[in-house]
Amino acid sequence: MKKNLLIILFILGSISSRADTITSWTFYLNNTKVKTCTDLTQNKITIKANTLKSSDILELEYFDDTCHNYEYVITIKDEYKGGVSIKKIKGKNNRIRLDLNDILEHYHKQFDGRKVFFLIFIDGINKDKSIKNGRRLLELTLN
């Protein structure tokens, strides 16, 4: 009887201890947290372009506990799917500096002060070259 009770308790403990993992990513501008996003949040940020300087730093901190040994590729595109920047990183859970200068240069060259949004995507590539996701992280609007 005690053996059956232990088995039942073990099964119930295993079921209740399963963690529901949510991938999250946080954006920082000049070391100030702007927004933390998940698949369940509205992932949009609006910044006035004339307040940004080329010395400003835009960073991303990406957390995904379901991927191990992945290389990540971050792609920034404008609203017309024009490529702005591509960055490859290894590992996760550390801040990644995004190319804000590339975004600003593209904005001033292509859009000349008009409101525009940029899409930031991330792909995970495993060592066996399998690709995970193609997750859209953020819509960054400059106006």
On whether residue 129 sits in a domain, the answer given is yes
On whether residue 10 sits in a domain, the answer given is no
Number of folded domains that form the chain: 1
**What is the DSSP pairing of strand 44-47 with strand 131-142?**
parallel
On whether residue 7 sits in a domain, the answer given is no
| Domain residue limits at 122 | 20-142
The pLDDT tens digits of the residues spanning 100-128 come to 888 888 887 877 767 788 888 887 777 76
User: Burial, 41: exposed, middle or buried (Cβ in 10 Å; 0-12, 13-18, 19+)?
Assistant: exposed
On whether residue 29 sits in a domain, the answer given is yes
On whether residue 30 sits in a domain, the answer given is yes
The SS3 assignment for 130 reads coil
CATH code, domain carrying 49: 2.60.40.2550
On whether residue 94 sits in a domain, the answer given is yes
Against a cut of 0.75, is the pTM above it? no
On whether residue 4 sits in a domain, the answer given is no
The greatest distance separating any two alpha carbons of the chain, rounded to the nearest whole angstrom, comes to 77
Is residue 19's pLDDT more than 90? no
Give the per-residue SS3 of 22-33: CCEEEEEECCEE
Asked which of 52-61, 63-72, 116-125 is least confident by mean pLDDT, the reply is 63-72
The SS3 assignment for 43 reads coil
What are the structure tokens assigned to 56, written together? 């400003």
